[in-house]
């Protein structure tokens, strides 16, 4: 029987679905990331105890510090698990384009990071008494985590081959995540102060253009990262 | 002055499998040492121009002299970082490890030059902006760039397989160059950075061009030109020496491999 290889879109969706199904069964990764996120918010809550004025100001910082660090941890773990079990090698043998593999992985990484962001926002809603009803906050979370997940997936695929994975991944991902953090924190800060879109459109534009640049470069370069 | 032979000696790649001794063509070594001598003497000329010929700036005083070093160190650094991109692309196409040796050499030359740019920039900002550092878009870009290239070297150190290391480094070197382009462009296209544009036009923010005499004063313009040429040449000469060192290290590795087998 000849099985027709799936199209780019099909392959991408199937890879994402496979990862999600595996995660739904074990729930090890998302629970670890969520717990890490909540813990970090708690740490911020108690380190800022007695300074309620600072707490309100610190919200964007707390969100993005937590998302970036929890995201780096989670991405590193999910990719090394695949590498250690040999799943990645099997996927590379499949008759699908490498870009489909990349985008499938990216969707899952994005969903995970986004989930952490939502959980962290929810925790801050309760602990920091934050008003997160502005749609802009969630939009920034959406496009900020997209750029981060893109670079995390690309560079995470490199870090699994490194000698000290756990330290190498943050070192190579965080400098690239820094511009995302700068844009997102400034945008979220302006949003919380209830400023008009024109006040933070620059930062939203920075995030959107970083997403485009990162996606385009990953599309071009991922093949070179995973060949072998 | 373009250093024509800047990348030349790497074509005489020592064969890593046999470890045979490959000598560089004599004219290349001569050219390199001639250039090195010129660069060494040129440093004196550049410093003389910066300190005595250019004259003192009317508004900023002696601090303005830092510009001649600050901007040209960035130029030299960006030239060699562009070499990193070219070497990375060439490695991905040809899979010849000589390009990887060029890439690592260029980052190791570029990073100190960018450090010079950062340190002199901070030294200039302290009296003029009244702070060593501020979260200005261009300064942010510079910080990201420095961290990216430092991470490049860390990444290389963490991957053992030479082919894989070369591949990853090529990808990372290409990614990192975005920051160089960003730092160059940002004050030219945006209005919210207070960093001056000393050379060339600023499309959206003519105010950032500033009233620097570099644009109108011939002596200052000449000094800036000489400083730019000197730093770019020095960067390429250093790169050439660094590539030779890397080739030598490769030869030593090959000899070692032959001895242990």
Residue B12, CA distances (Å) to A34, B32, B39, B102 in order: 55, 15, 24, 13
What pLDDT score does B202 carry?
Answer: 59
Cβ separation A171–B164 shorter than 8 A: no
Work out whether the CA dihedral B224, B229, B232, B234 comes out positive or negative: negative
| Angle at CA of residue A215, ends A210 and A217, nearest 5° | 95
By Cβ distance, the residue of B141, B144, B172 closest to A172 is B172
**CB-hemisphere CA count at 13 Å for A8?**
6
Asked whether the beta carbons of B237 and B57 are under 8 A apart, the reply is: no
Q: Distance between CA atoms of A79 and B67, rounded to whole angstroms?
A: 46
User: Rounded to a whole number, what is the distance in Å from the CA of A27 to chain B's nearest CA?
Assistant: 30
- pLDDT of residue A10 exceeding 50, the answer is yes
State the burial class of residue B256 (Cβ atoms within 10 Å of its Cβ: 0-12, 13-18, 19+): exposed
Asked whether the beta carbons of B46 and B230 are under 8 A apart, the reply is: yes
Q: Which has more pLDDT, A183 or B190?
A: A183
Asked whether the beta carbons of A14 and A6 are under 8 A apart, the reply is: yes
By Cβ distance, the residue of B140, B154, B174 closest to A171 is B154
Task: Mark which residues 99-118 of A lie under 8 Å from B by CB.
Answer: none
- pLDDT of residue A220 exceeding 70, the answer is yes
Q: Which of A190-199's residues contact partners 24+ apart within 8 Å by CB, and which partners?
A: A191/A134, A191/A136, A191/A137, A191/A140, A192/A56, A192/A59, A192/A60, A192/A130, A192/A131, A192/A134, A192/A137, A194/A134, A197/A136
Each residue of A47-78: b (16+ CB within 10 Å) or e? ebeeeeeebeebbbebbbbbbbbbbbbbbbbb
DSSP assigned state of A95: S
Strand partners, B57: B61
ipTM above threshold 0.95 = no
What pLDDT score does B230 carry?
Answer: 95
Chain B residues whose CB is inside 8 A of the A202 CB are: 190, 192
Can you give the C-alpha Rg of chain B in angstroms? 20
Q: Tell me how many residue pairs between chain A and chain B have CB atoms under 8 A apart.
A: 66
User: Rounded to a whole number, what is the distance in Å from the CA of A161 to chain B's nearest CA?
Assistant: 7
Q: Distance between CA atoms of B60 and B217, rounded to whole angstroms?
A: 15
> Residue B35 has which token pair?
């250039």
Pick the residue of B151, B165, B169, B178 with the most A CBs within 10 A to test the interface with A by mutation: B151
- pLDDT of residue A84 exceeding 50, the answer is yes
What are the 10-residue block averages of pLDDT along chain B, 261 residues in total?
A: 42 46 81 94 92 80 86 93 96 94 96 94 87 85 93 93 93 93 79 70 55 67 90 95 93 91 80
Cβ separation B144–A174 shorter than 8 A: no
Q: Distance between CA atoms of B141 and B22, rounded to whole angstroms?
A: 42
By Cβ distance, the residue of A164, A175, A221 closest to B171 is A221
Specify the 3-state DSSP secondary structure of B57. strand
What pLDDT score does A26 carry?
Answer: 84
Indicate the pTM of the whole model. 0.86
A171 contacts chain B (CB < 8 A): yes
DSSP assigned state of A128: S
Q: Which has more pLDDT, A50 or A170?
A: A170
What pLDDT score does B247 carry?
Answer: 92
Chain A residues whose CB is inside 8 A of the B154 CB are: 168, 171-172
Chain B residues whose CB is inside 8 A of the A161 CB are: 159, 161, 164, 168
What pLDDT score does A208 carry?
Answer: 94
Can you give the C-alpha Rg of chain A in angstroms? 18
What pLDDT score does B18 carry?
Answer: 44
A198 contacts chain B (CB < 8 A): no
Closest CA to A147 of A77, A71, A76, A201: A71
Considering only A3-7, A10-14, A184-188, A218-222, which range has the smallest mean pLDDT?
Answer: A3-7
Phi, psi values for residue B222, rounded to 5°: -65, -45
pLDDT digits (tens, 9 = 90+) for A114-150: 999 999 999 988 888 888 888 899 999 999 999 999 9
């Amino acid at each position: 029987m000849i099985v027709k290889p799936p199209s780019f879109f099909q392959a991408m969706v199937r890879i994402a679905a496979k990862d999600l199904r595996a995660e739904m069964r074990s729930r090890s990764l998302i629970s670890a990331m969520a717990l890490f996120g909540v813990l970090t918010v708690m740490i911020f809550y108690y380190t800022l105890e007695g300074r309620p004025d600072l707490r309100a100001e610190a919200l964007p910082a707390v969100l993005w510090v937590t998302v970036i660090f929890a995201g780096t941890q989670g991405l590193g773990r999910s990719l090394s698990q695949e590498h250690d079990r040999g799943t990645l090698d099997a996927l590379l043998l499949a008759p699908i384009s490498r870009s489909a593999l990349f985008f499938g992985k990216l969707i899952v990484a994005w969903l995970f990071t986004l989930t952490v962001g939502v959980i962290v926002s929810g925790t801050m809603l309760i602990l920091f008494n934050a008003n997160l009803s502005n749609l802009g906050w969630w939009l920034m979370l959406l496009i900020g985590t997209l750029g981060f997940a893109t670079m995390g997936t690309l560079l995470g695929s490199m870090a699994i081959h490194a000698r000290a994975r756990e330290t190498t991944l943050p070192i190579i991902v965080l400098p690239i995540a820094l511009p995302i953090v700068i844009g997102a924190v400034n945008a979220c800060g302006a949003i919380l102060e209830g400023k008009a879109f024109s006040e933070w459109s620059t930062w939203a534009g920075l995030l959107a253009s970083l997403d485009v640049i990162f996606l385009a470069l990953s599309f071009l370069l991922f093949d070179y990262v995973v060949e072998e | 002055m373009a250093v024509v032979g800047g990348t030349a000696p790497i074509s005489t790649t020592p064969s890593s499998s046999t470890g045979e001794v490959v000598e560089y063509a004599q004219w290349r070594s001569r050219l390199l040492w001639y250039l090195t001598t010129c660069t060494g003497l040129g440093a004196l000329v550049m410093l003389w121009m910066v300190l005595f010929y250019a004259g003192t700036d009317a508004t900023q005083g002696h601090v303005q002299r830092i510009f001649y070093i600050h901007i040209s160190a960035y130029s030299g650094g960006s030239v060699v970082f562009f070499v990193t991109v070219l070497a990375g692309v060439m490695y991905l196409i040809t899979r010849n490890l000589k390009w990887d040796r060029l890439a690592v050499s260029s980052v190791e030359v570029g990073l100190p030059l960018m450090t010079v740019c950062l340190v002199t920039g901070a030294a200039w900002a302290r009296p003029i902006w009244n702070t060593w550092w501020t979260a200005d878009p261009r300064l942010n870009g510079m910080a990201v760039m420095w961290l990216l290239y430092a991470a490049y070297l860390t990444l290389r150190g963490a991957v053992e397989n030479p082919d894989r290391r070369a591949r990853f480094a090529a990808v990372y070197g290409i990614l990192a160059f975005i920051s160089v382009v960003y730092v160059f462009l940002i004050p030219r296209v945006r209005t919210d950075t207070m960093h001056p544009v000393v050379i060339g036009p600023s499309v959206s923010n003519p105010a950032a061009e500033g009233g620097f005499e570099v644009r109108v004063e011939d002596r200052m313009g000449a000094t800036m030109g000489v400083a730019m040429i000197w730093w770019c040449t020095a960067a390429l000469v250093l790169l050439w020496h660094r590539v030779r060192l890397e080739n030598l290290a490769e030869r030593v590795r090959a000899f070692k491999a032959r001895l242990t087998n």
